[in-house]
C-alpha cells in the first residue's frame, strides 16, 4: 500500500482554518468573584476572564433585581442601585462577535440606608475651663458644601459681645475680606447694613458676634454657618451665617457673609474668640457635610 505524503501547506491551511473559527467565536463566560456594597447606590463586582476560547474585550456586570449594569475591568463598579436593597450580580464577556452566557450569580449584598442631605462629620463640646480654639481637621471631600451649627458663649467679661473668628487650612494671611452684615436689635431699630472694618478681620473671617460672661448668665448664642463649594479649586470660598442672641428681651439677629480669597479645597477649620478669649464650657459646634 502506498503512503501519500501530506504537504506542509495542508498543515498550514488547517491552522489557518482553525484560527479563522476562533476569530469568529464569542468569549466563554467569566468566573464570578465577589460583590461588595460600597454605598447606598453602588457596589463593586470582581470576576476572572476565561482563559480558553476567544478573548473578551468588554465585561458587563448586571444586577438582580433591576438589571442595573456597569462595565469595565475587574472590579466593575455598578451605580444607580436602590438603597437598602439586596442584590446579586452576574458578569458577561463580549467581543465583536457577540456576548457570552452570563456567569453564575455572585454572593448577595445589601446596599446601605439612604444618605441624608446633611451628614454629620464631627461634633466638639467645650469642657470645663473653656477652650481657646475649636478645630475641625481632615475634613472629607465627599460633599458639595459644609455647614457648622453652634451654641456658643465666651469667657470675657465686657457685658457685650465679641467676634467669632474663622480660619481655613491654617491660613492667617491677608486672604480674607472684612465681613458684610445686615442685622437688627430687639429695641425696634430695625435692620441696618454694616461692614466689618476691624484690621483683625483681614486675616480671618468674622462670621458672628456672640455673648460673653458679662451678660446675663447661661445665655448662649445660636449660630449657623454655610461654607459654599468648599472643595472647588476654581473659585474663592464664600460663607453665609445666621446668628442671634437674646439678653432677656434685648439682643440682636444678624446675617453675615464672608470671603476667603483662595482656590484651595478646605480641609481644616479653626474657630477662635476675639482678643484671645476662650469659648465657655458647654459651647458646642457640629460640622455637617451637604450633598447637593
Residue with cell 465679641: 162
pLDDT of residue 206: 82
Encode pLDDT of 157-206 as tens digits: 876 678 889 999 999 988 888 777 787 765 555 555 555 544 444 688 88
pLDDT of residue 244: 81
| pLDDT beyond 80 at 265 | yes
pLDDT of residue 189: 54
Residue 189 grid cell: 431699630
Taking a C-beta distance cutoff of 8 angstroms, is the pair 46, 61 a contact? no
pLDDT of residue 205: 85
> Taking Cα atoms as reference points, which of 42, 98, 48 lies closest to residue 66?
42
Report domain extents, the chain: 27-110, 118-290
Residue 128 grid cell: 470645663
CA 32 → CA 95, 104, 217, distances in Å? 18, 6, 66
Count CB-CB contacts under 10 A for residue 244.
16
More confident residue, 44 or 2: 44
Distance of CA 131 to the CA centre of its chain: 28
The secondary element (H helix, E strand) that includes residue 288 is: strand 284-290
Counting residues of the chain whose pLDDT is more than 90, the rounded percentage is: 55
Question: Does CATH place domain 118-290 in 3.10.100?
Answer: no
More confident residue, 244 or 126: 126
What is the full DSSP assignment across the chain? ---PPPPHHHHHHHHHHHHHHHHTPPBPPPEEEEEEE-SSSEEEEEEE--SSSBPPSEEEEEEETT--EEESSSSEEEE---TT-EEEEEEEEEETTEEPPP------EEPPPPPPSEEEEEEEE--TT-BSEEEE-S--SS-SEEEEEEEE-B---SSSEEEEEEEETT--SS-EEEEEEEEEETTS--EEEEE---GGGGGSEEEEEEE-TTSSTT--EEEEEEETTTT-TTS-EEEEEEEEEEETTEEEEEEEEEEE---SPP--EEEEEGGGPPBPTT-EEEEEEE--
Domain at 27-110: CATH architecture: Sandwich (2.60)
Report the predicted TM-score, pTM, of the whole model to 2 decimal places.
Answer: 0.59
The pLDDT mean for the chain works out to 84
Determine the Cα–Cα distance for residues 51 and 90; give it in Å rounded to an integer: 18
Residue with cell 501519500: 4
pLDDT of residue 10: 43
Mean pLDDT, to the nearest integer, of 259-285?
94
Residue with cell 468569549: 27
Encode pLDDT of 49-67 as tens digits: 999 999 999 999 999 999 9
Encode pLDDT of 121-159 as tens digits: 999 999 998 999 999 999 998 888 999 999 998 888 876
| pLDDT beyond 90 at 250 | no
> Taking Cα atoms as reference points, which of 200, 168, 180 lies closest to residue 254?
180
More confident residue, 45 or 156: 45
SS3 8: helix
Taking a C-beta distance cutoff of 8 angstroms, is the pair 149, 224 a contact? yes
DSSP-assigned beta bridge partners for residue 269: 136, 168
| pLDDT beyond 60 at 254 | yes
pLDDT of residue 292: 63
More confident residue, 33 or 38: 33
Amino acid at each position: 500500500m502506498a503512503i501519500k505524503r501530506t504537504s506542509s501547506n495542508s498543515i498550514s491551511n488547517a491552522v489557518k482554518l482553525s484560527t479563522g473559527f476562533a476569530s469568529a467565536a464569542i468569549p466563554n463566560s467569566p468566573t464570578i468573584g465577589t460583590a461588595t456594597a460600597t454605598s447606598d447606590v453602588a457596589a463593586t463586582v470582581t470576576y476572572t476572564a476565561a482563559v480558553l476560547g476567544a478573548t473578551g474585550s468588554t465585561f458587563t456586570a448586571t444586577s438582580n433585581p433591576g438589571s442595573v449594569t456597569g462595565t469595565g475591568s475587574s472590579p466593575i463598579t455598578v451605580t444607580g442601585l436602590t438603597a437598602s436593597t439586596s442584590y446579586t450580580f452576574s458578569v458577561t464577556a463580549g467581543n465583536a462577535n457577540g456576548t457570552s452566557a452570563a456567569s453564575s450569580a455572585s454572593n448577595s449584598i445589601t446596599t446601605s440606608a439612604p444618605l441624608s442631605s446633611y451628614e454629620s462629620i464631627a461634633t466638639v463640646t467645650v469642657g470645663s475651663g473653656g477652650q481657646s480654639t475649636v478645630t475641625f481637621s481632615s475634613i472629607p471631600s465627599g460633599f458639595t458644601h459644609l455647614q457648622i451649627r453652634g451654641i456658643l458663649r465666651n469667657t470675657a467679661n465686657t457685658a457685650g459681645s465679641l467676634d467669632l473668628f474663622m480660619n481655613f487650612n491654617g491660613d492667617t494671611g491677608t486672604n480674607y475680606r472684612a465681613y458684610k452684615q445686615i442685622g437688627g436689635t430687639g429695641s425696634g431699630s430695625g435692620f441696618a447694613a454694616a461692614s466689618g472694618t476691624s484690621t483683625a478681620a483681614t486675616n480671618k473671617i468674622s462670621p458672628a458676634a456672640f455673648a460673653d460672661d458679662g451678660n446675663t448668665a447661661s445665655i448662649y448664642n445660636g449660630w449657623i454657618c454655610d461654607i459654599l463649594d468648599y472643595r472647588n479649586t476654581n473659585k474663592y470660598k464664600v460663607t453665609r451665617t445666621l446668628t442671634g442672641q437674646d439678653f432677656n428681651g434685648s439682643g440682636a439677629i444678624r446675617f453675615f457673609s464672608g470671603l476667603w480669597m483662595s482656590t484651595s479645597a478646605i480641609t481644616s477649620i479653626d474657630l477662635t474668640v476675639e482678643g484671645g478669649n476662650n469659648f465657655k464650657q458647654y459651647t458646642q459646634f457640629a460640622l455637617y457635610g451637604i450633598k447637593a
